[in-house]
Homo-oligomer: A and B are copies of this chain.
Amino acid sequence: MHTLIRHRRWLVPVLTALVVLAVAAPALADDPDPVAMVNDTNTALNIMWMLIGGFLVFFMQAGFALVETGFTRAKNVAHTMMMNMMVFCIGAVGYFICGFAFQFGAVNFTWPEINGLSAWAHSPVTLGAWVDAAGNALLSTPLIAFGQHGILGGSGFFLAGLGGSTGILAFFLFQMVFMDTAATIPTGSMAERLKFTGFVLMSLWVAMVIYPLVGNWVWGGGWLQNLGRTMGLGNGAVDFAGSGVVHSIGGSVALAGAMVIGPRIGRFNKDGTANPIPGHNIALGVLGTIILFFGWFGFNPASSLGFVGGFGALATNAAINTLLAGAFGGVAAMTYMWVVSSTKKPDPGMSVNGILAGLVAITAPCAFVDASAAAIIGIIAGVLVCLASVWLEKAKIDDPVGAVPVHFANGLWGVIAVGLFANGNPNSAGWNGVASSVTGLFYGGGFGQLGAQLFEAVAIAVTVVGLSYVFFLGVKAIGHLRSDVEHELQGLDLPEMGSIGYPKDFEPSTEAVREALKGAKAGATVPAAGD
């Protein structure tokens, strides 16, 4: 119960008048200019929207935990759940230390005029002015750059000096949970055999290094975001909520990790055929999927970073398209498995992945495409995830929960889809410092935007898979990547975590029971503490 005092109020003698005044007081006291007042309100509304969205994205952590645990074996439950819970904690620490600074240290920096395009800063104006008490711009150090091509930020470590800016704090929270979504994806592809020390190192790798680096290129003012200004490719790489930044990065780390760590024991036979290793609990897996879908309504719509005016239009577009692409993706994958594939059943596992694939694919284009395009993008995603799962198995890469088909393949598909389906939505005019609207090939935009999107897709895949492959080789070299064979066979829960997922009920000793019954007979129904 915590009320800011209204200083002018205490002189009023009558209680009734006093309370009635309370509402009007802030206006009288602070600023009677209604335009300034509305702007303050709008900033509050925008920040609130982004915070609520960030909370929903946080909750996706539960979805990932359940999908990964449900679709793996009972003997690794504690290990898989713990990875998905602790990746948030470890990731938050790493992102707080340096990840945010690497990714967004230059987000408020003003890029100079170039190619006839005016100067440009891309801090979100929806979130208020990002200045300190003295009026100096925050997060405005120039990027480390090759010529015009920025690649890494460098201010805002430990959030030092940023505590006075509500907009930046809220922005940090939102970006932190996005990073964490990327960091949690590889725990799926390496599940059931990743050492817990290796998991900790992987979490730090994503949170502190690879995600901030590549994420900077698309969202932090880096070279991909500026391809429109520097090379005339449409509006530069456009990735509304992160098909590329979040899902392709996470999926690329997942792919590199799965390749280096190798398949689970028994996954592939000597003759090259594969054995399915079903997960232990479809109920958890489906529950996790619904939670992920729910959280995606924060992920995509709140990436408008505001809700007043055109930002609300972008957010609502994003919400509708998210709903449709997820639904069509699920229906497409279910239908594909039921009608086309050899199983001829509406397979739960692939239906789940079809939904997630549709959601991943719509993440980049969600605010920029029509509802019908969202449906098409979702349908393609639903089929693509089925095909990619087969390709992955043929390549003898073992990915227990399908992280690569879902996040890597469909993340890339989503990035490319922007270049095809972006409809020139007027609310996207000026995106990435280019005055035109984001327009794809099918909507008369030519190949410029598609080119920028291909740049993003290739840059992410090559950079992240490549560097992460090297990283995991290093982890392997120091013996922290893969758990011992005996531990894998037994299940990682006891050797790695010290606890199993589903312990049998503890039974008290006969003596303890006799003792308890004796007490009960003597009239005391309980064995009192300390007796």
Partner pick for A293 among B58, B343, B435, B527, CB 8 A cutoff: B58
Alpha-carbon separation in the docked complex, A5 to B125 (Å)? 9
Once A16-B131, A92-B323 are accepted as A-B contacts, the answer to whether A81 and B529 lie under 8 Å apart by CB is no
List, in ascending order, chain B residues with CB within 8 A of A491's CB: 505
How many residues of A sit at the interface, in one of the four size bands? 35 or more
Partner pick for A265 among B43, B110, B513, CB 8 A cutoff: B513
Is A141 positioned at the interface, with any CB of B under 8 Å from its CB? no
Partner pick for A266 among B65, B508, B529, CB 8 A cutoff: B508
A-B contact pairs, 11 of them (CB 8 A): A4-B310, A22-B125, A26-B42, A41-B45, A44-B309, A54-B297, A73-B505, A89-B328, A173-B316, A173-B319, A281-B501
User: Contact at A282–B502, with CB atoms within 8 Å?
Assistant: yes
A425-436 vs B, Cβ < 8 Å mask (1 yes, 0 no)? 001011111010
| Residue ID in chain B nearest A62 by CB atoms | B290
User: Contact at A44–B47, with CB atoms within 8 Å?
Assistant: no
User: Contact at B92–A327, with CB atoms within 8 Å?
Assistant: yes
User: Contact at A10–B42, with CB atoms within 8 Å?
Assistant: no
Alpha-carbon separation in the docked complex, A88 to B323 (Å)? 10
| A359-399 interface (Cβ within 8 A of B) | 367, 370-372, 375, 395-398
A287-315 vs B, Cβ < 8 Å mask (1 yes, 0 no)? 10111011001100101110111111101
User: Contact at A65–B286, with CB atoms within 8 Å?
Assistant: yes
Query: Sorted from nearest, which 3 A-B pairs have the closest CB atoms?
Result: A266-B508, A5-B430, A345-B498
User: Contact at A309–B482, with CB atoms within 8 Å?
Assistant: no
Alpha-carbon separation in the docked complex, A316 to B55 (Å)? 12
List, in ascending order, chain B residues with CB within 8 A of A305's CB: 1-3
User: Contact at B10–A311, with CB atoms within 8 Å?
Assistant: no
User: Contact at A124–B3, with CB atoms within 8 Å?
Assistant: yes
Alpha-carbon separation in the docked complex, A176 to B323 (Å)? 10
Q: How far is the CB of A88 from chain B (nearest CB, A)?
A: 7
Once A41-B308, A163-B370 are accepted as A-B contacts, the answer to whether A5 and B431 lie under 8 Å apart by CB is yes
By DSSP majority rule, is chain A's interface helix, strand, loop, or mixed? helix
Is A416 positioned at the interface, with any CB of B under 8 Å from its CB? no
Q: How far is the CB of A31 from chain B (nearest CB, A)?
A: 9
Alpha-carbon separation in the docked complex, A20 to B165 (Å)? 13
| A19-33 interface (Cβ within 8 A of B) | 19-20, 22-27, 30, 32
Is A407 positioned at the interface, with any CB of B under 8 Å from its CB? no
User: Contact at B5–A120, with CB atoms within 8 Å?
Assistant: yes
A72-87 vs B, Cβ < 8 Å mask (1 yes, 0 no)? 0111011001101110
Is A334 positioned at the interface, with any CB of B under 8 Å from its CB? yes
Q: How far is the CB of A340 from chain B (nearest CB, A)?
A: 14
User: Contact at B40–A3, with CB atoms within 8 Å?
Assistant: no
A479-511 vs B, Cβ < 8 Å mask (1 yes, 0 no)? 101101100110100001111111111111101
A87-126 vs B, Cβ < 8 Å mask (1 yes, 0 no)? 0111111001000000010011010010000111111111
Alpha-carbon separation in the docked complex, A324 to B44 (Å)? 22
Is A69 positioned at the interface, with any CB of B under 8 Å from its CB? yes
Interface stretch (choices A142-150, A269-277, A443-451, A455-463): A269-277
Is A220 positioned at the interface, with any CB of B under 8 Å from its CB? yes
List, in ascending order, chain B residues with CB within 8 A of A3's CB: 122-126, 305, 430-431
Is A223 positioned at the interface, with any CB of B under 8 Å from its CB? no
Once A287-B62, A309-B30, A371-B158 are accepted as A-B contacts, the answer to whether A497 and B345 lie under 8 Å apart by CB is yes
User: Contact at B48–A320, with CB atoms within 8 Å?
Assistant: no
Alpha-carbon separation in the docked complex, A207 to B497 (Å)? 39
Once A278-B499, A301-B51 are accepted as A-B contacts, the answer to whether A320 and B4 lie under 8 Å apart by CB is no
| Residue ID in chain B nearest A285 by CB atoms | B81
User: Contact at A312–B42, with CB atoms within 8 Å?
Assistant: no
Q: How far is the CB of A161 from chain B (nearest CB, A)?
A: 10
User: Contact at B5–A24, with CB atoms within 8 Å?
Assistant: no
User: Contact at B324–A261, with CB atoms within 8 Å?
Assistant: no
Is A130 positioned at the interface, with any CB of B under 8 Å from its CB? yes
Is A232 positioned at the interface, with any CB of B under 8 Å from its CB? no
| A152-176 interface (Cβ within 8 A of B) | 158-160, 163, 166, 169-170, 172-173, 176
Alpha-carbon separation in the docked complex, A517 to B519 (Å)? 54
List, in ascending order, chain B residues with CB within 8 A of A231's CB: none
Partner pick for A34 among B18, B34, B484, B515, CB 8 A cutoff: B34
Of the listed residues A1, A61, A128, the one surrounded by the most CB atoms of chain B closer than 10 A to its CB is A1
